[in-house]
Each structure stands twice: as C-alpha cells, then as structure tokens.
C-alpha cells in the first residue's frame, strides 16, 4: 500500500467515526426529520451546525438523513431526495470551516486529498488538518499522528 493510499485510508477511518451530525435542520415539532429548505435557509444565515449538516447531507446523499418538505397546505411530506453532490458538500464544509468548525475542516482535508468536490491538492489537505488540530480537534490530532507515523515509515524505506 503506497503512502497516499494509507493516508486516505487513515482519514477515511477517522472521519467515519465523526460523521454523525446533530440534526440542526429540523423544525421544533419534527426533531428527527431533516428539512432541506429550512437547513439551507439556516446555513445561508451563518448557522454553523446547519452548514455542517448540509455538507454531510450532500456528501452522503439520501442515505444520510430522511428528508421532508412542507407542501402548499403546510403538511410535512417525507421523501424529498437529497442527491449526493460533492461540489455542494465541499461548499458547505468550506463555509462552516470559515466559522472554525473543525469537523468541516477535516472533511475539507479529505476532499482535497481525494479530489471529491474540488481539485486534488495535498498541501491544502495538510493545511486543513493542521488548522483543525490548532483549533483543538482531537480527531485532527489523531490523524496527524497517524500521518507522521506513515511518513516516518516511508522515510525508513
């Protein structure tokens, strides 16, 4: 397994454990239901949790959260599909990271490493992991430790 494969695997495994977002995109009376339009509205107004939730929703698509919308008669209808869209996911993680959301910084790092939603850029990948670690993300610190272990192993060869 080459260096970048190990690095990507390390990021993937650690980010998998942090993939649970609180549902900040639901109406008060429907706490377990994700509302896409409401979430977009909250995210655009600067709500960091909504920005992160949108990043995750677009990253995972319909499999991430059950979605619903309000029809013209004010009835909630489940089934509005959220398609996976890496560009939109990247956009919302970037917005949340501007507001110091460390989990979003880690997802940006992963995006730059894999090229999903953006151009592959290893330097930017390292930048966002380091930025998250500087903001006291324990996950970022674990990822950096694993990365330095991989780099050290590669240097010995």
Structure tokens at 50: 């909504």
Supply the DSSP symbol for 55. Answer: H
Instruction: Evaluate if pTM is beyond 0.85.
Output: no
Place 18 in a pLDDT band, splitting at 50, 70 and 90.
low
**Contact present, 44 and 24 (Cβ < 8 Å):** no
Mean pLDDT within 64-93: 68
Structure tokens at 112: 């730059």
Locus of tokens 């966002």: 128
pLDDT in tens, 106-152: 999 989 988 999 999 989 988 999 999 999 998 889 888 887 887 78
pLDDT computed for residue 17 by the predictor: 47
3-156 adopts what CATH topology?
1.25.40
Specify the higher pLDDT residue, 98 or 157. Answer: 98
Q: Report the b/e string of 2-34 with b at 16+ CB within 10 A.
A: eeeebbbebbeebbeeeeebebbbbeeeeeebb
Mean pLDDT of the chain: 77
**Contact present, 88 and 124 (Cβ < 8 Å):** no
């Amino acid at each position: 397994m080459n260096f970048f494969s190990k690095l990507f695997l390390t990021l993937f495994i650690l980010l998998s454990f942090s993939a649970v977002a609180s549902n900040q995109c639901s109406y008060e009376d429907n706490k377990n239901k994700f509302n896409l339009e409401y979430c977009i509205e909250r995210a655009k107004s600067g709500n960091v949790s909504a920005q992160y939730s949108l990043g995750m929703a677009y990253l995972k698509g319909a499999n991430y959260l059950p979605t619903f919308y309000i029809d013209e008669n004010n009835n909630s209808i489940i089934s509005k599909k959220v398609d996976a869209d890496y560009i939109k996911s990247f956009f919302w993680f970037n917005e949340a990271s501007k507001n110091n959301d460390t989990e979003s910084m880690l997802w940006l790092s992963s995006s730059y490493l894999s090229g999903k939603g953006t151009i592959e850029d290893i330097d930017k990948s390292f930048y966002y992991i380091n930025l998250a670690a500087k903001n006291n993300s324990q996950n970022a610190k674990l990822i950096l430790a694993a990365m330095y272990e991989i780099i050290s192993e590669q240097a010995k060869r």
